[in-house]
Amino acid sequence: MMTVIEKQYMDAVIAMNRRLQSSQPDWEQRRYEIAKDAMCAILCNPAIVDKVTEEGEPAWGAPVAIAKTAVTLAGLLVEELKKQKSDD
Element (H or E) spanning 41, and its range?
Answer: helix 27-43
More confident residue, 77 or 47: 77
Task: Evaluate whether 65 touches 53 at the Cβ level (below 8 Å).
Answer: yes
- pLDDT number for residue 55: 59
Model pTM score = 0.64
pLDDT-derived band at 59, boundaries 50, 70, 90: low
Per-residue model confidence as pLDDT tens digits over 4-53? 888 899 999 998 888 777 767 888 999 999 999 999 998 898 888 777 77
48 backbone dihedrals φ, ψ, rounded to 5°: -70, -40
56: left (phi over 0), alpha (psi -120 to 50) or beta: left
Task: Evaluate whether 11 touches 3 at the Cβ level (below 8 Å).
Answer: no
pLDDT at residue 77 tops 90: yes
- Residue 55, helix vs strand vs coil: coil
